[in-house]
Structures are given as structure tokens and as C-alpha cells.
Amino acid sequence: MFDFTDRQLELQQRVRKFVNENIFPNLELIDKGEYQEELFKEWCKTGLVTLVAPKAVGGIELDTKSCAIVMEELGYGDVGVATGFGANNLGSYPLLISGTLEQQKQHFGPILEGKYGAFALTEPGAGSDAGAVATTAERKGDEYILNGTKCFITQGGFAIDMQSSMVVFASTDRTLGSKGLSAFLVKGGTPGIRVGKIEDKMGIRGSQTVELVIEDLHVPASSLLGEEGDGMKIAMKTLDSGRLMVAAQGVGCGQRALDLAVDYVKKQVEGVKPLAKQQAIAFKIAEMEASVEAARQLVYRGAFLKDNKQPYSHHSAITKLFATEMAMNVANSAMEIMGSYGYSKESGIEKVWRDARILSIYEGTNQVQRLVISGGLLR
């Protein structure tokens, strides 16, 4: 069911070539939080700066399956880089869901020129509860005035510095809770929005994560996506799509951990017997392979459902939960197989292990996925 077309195979090889030529040789710099701008310039040359831009605005409009292929390959190379590049897709889903053609042109114009977009939902007091967003948007005449603070925003600083485009969520009526949430298209560099803290993270250091401080940010009324109160619906539909891409990154990350473990046990000899010939190790490798492949099938089943306009929200939560925990478990198993060597930076798995940990946290923690899944069954 999930066989790739010739075009999708070519796409996979194109991204794999980019990973081999641009990511792997620079992993040390990437893990220091350096080389981001140079790497993004090279990525823009591939024509894949944003995967979901409609053809009507000059984009390539890849289907979900093709997007998953790209994110799996990038996740194999570096989860942080995949997260950074993926920000252009995450920040664009709201425009595909509720944006007018004119709004889509405003948003995708700078991104297709080779800039970063951003998706600004999370707040210090509203991590997994989007209904608790405290940022406000007050209508005054023909504009809205926004005030509040966002946190953990991927590539938000780049979107501001590049004067690109971002989607900011704010409450137009806090008395309504989640029903008062709205979404706004904001041009980076507009007075009233600036970068606060830049996060120093354990992993995914190939992407930028920042706090956004919003103080009397004036945006035209025409920047509202959909209607007032549509924000929660837009956010949830966006995250449904984003979770499939995070799961695809998890598959790539898990495959990388598995490949590092296989390479190690083939070369390592303990006593007179190669590790690969020890049954305990061989069985563990088999379990890791089964887990990676199961996650991959879930990802491409989800892509099939979405591309064929079938309900996929429930499946997306299952996929995100399974694939991201698989990535953590496989990375952990690979480190255990390698022992003390696995704990050293030289091994490669140490970095993969650090990067994998974020996958169960962002774009809806896995505790939230459990609520979504159980809620669908038990309501």
C-alpha cells in the first residue's frame, strides 16, 4: 500500500544526498548551534524550502506521503535540522486551513524566497492547554492590538530577523476560553514583537527555539485567519498534520539509532565472539528493527488517510505516540548495546539519544496523545 512512486523515490534520494553532503559532515557544528544559516541556504537550493505551499502561490504542494518521506530522511540526518526546516510547514498549515488566497500570497511570498516562517501558540502558562492562552488581541477600529508572551517557538527569531511570516495565536475573548482563541498572520519585524530568551537546549541544537515578547503589536484586521474564535480549530487541525511529520522524524531518528547499533555490533568483538553473534544482542536488534518498521507503517498509513481525505486525527495521535516513543526506546537500546562507548560523543548515538527525547514533548506531549486516543474510544 505504501510503495513509493518513481517521483517519490527521486525525492527520497535528493534529500538523502543533501543529508550525506551537508548534514553528516557538519554534525559537530550543528550540535554547537552553529551552521544554521549556511545549511538553510543549501537547503533552499533543493527547491524544498516549504513542502506544502500551494501551486497557486508558486509552491510545489507535495502530498502528505511525500512530506513524510522528506521529514524521515531529515530526521535520519539530524532531528534538530528536521525540526528547523519543518517550521516552514508547521507555520503554513493554518494558511491552508483558513487562509484566503491573498493571505496565502502574503505568507508564502517571503518563505518561497528562502526565509523561515514560524508557528506561535505555546505560552509559559499554556503548554499543552491551548485554551489557556493568555496573549490577548483587542479589536480597535480596523486593527487588532496583541499583547502577551510566547515560548519555545521554533525559528521565531529567524522569522523576525528575516521579516518573514508567522502565525500568532491570541484570545479575542478570554471569557470564552478555547472558543475565544483566534489566529493572526503577522509579518516578522513588525514593531511590537521581539525575541526574548533564546533557549539553550539539551538536543535538537540544529534548530532555534525562542521566547517571543509581544507588546502592543498592531496588525490589520485583515490578518485574522478565518473568524474570531476559529483559533482552537485551526491549531488542532494544524497539530494533527504536524504530528504525522514529527512521527516521520521519529522514524528517521529510530532508523539512524538502529543503523549505528548494527554497525557497532558487526565490528565489535568481546572475548572471542563478535557481538553480532551473541543471541541476546541479535534478539535486541531484531526488536529494534520491528519497532522502527511498525512506526514507519503507521506514518504512511496516516499519510494515506490524509491524502485521501479520510478522518486521520485519531490515527495521527496514535502514530505520534508510538513513533516518538519508539525513537527514544531504540536510541536507548542502541546506547545500552554500545555500553560506555555509546555514552561518548564519538559514538554518534549520544547525540541521537539527546535529540530523540524532544519528540515525545513537542507538538502535543505524549500524555496529550493518550488523552486524545482514549477520549476517542471512551467518550
Active-site position among 73, 123, 350, 363: 363
| DSSP codes of every residue in 189-235 | T-TTEEEEEEP--SS-TTS-EEEEEEEEEEEEGGGEESSTT-HHHHH
138 phi and psi, to 5 degrees? -105, 125
Cα–Cα nearest to 107, from 209, 42, 188: 188
H-assigned helices in 25-113: 27-31, 36-44, 64-77, 79-90, 93-98, 101-112
Question: What DSSP character marks residue 59?
Answer: -
Is 363 considered catalytic here? yes
Burial label for 94, CB within 10 Å (0-12, 13-18, 19+), is buried
CB 242 within 8 Å of CB 250:
no
Catalytic residues, by residue number, are 363
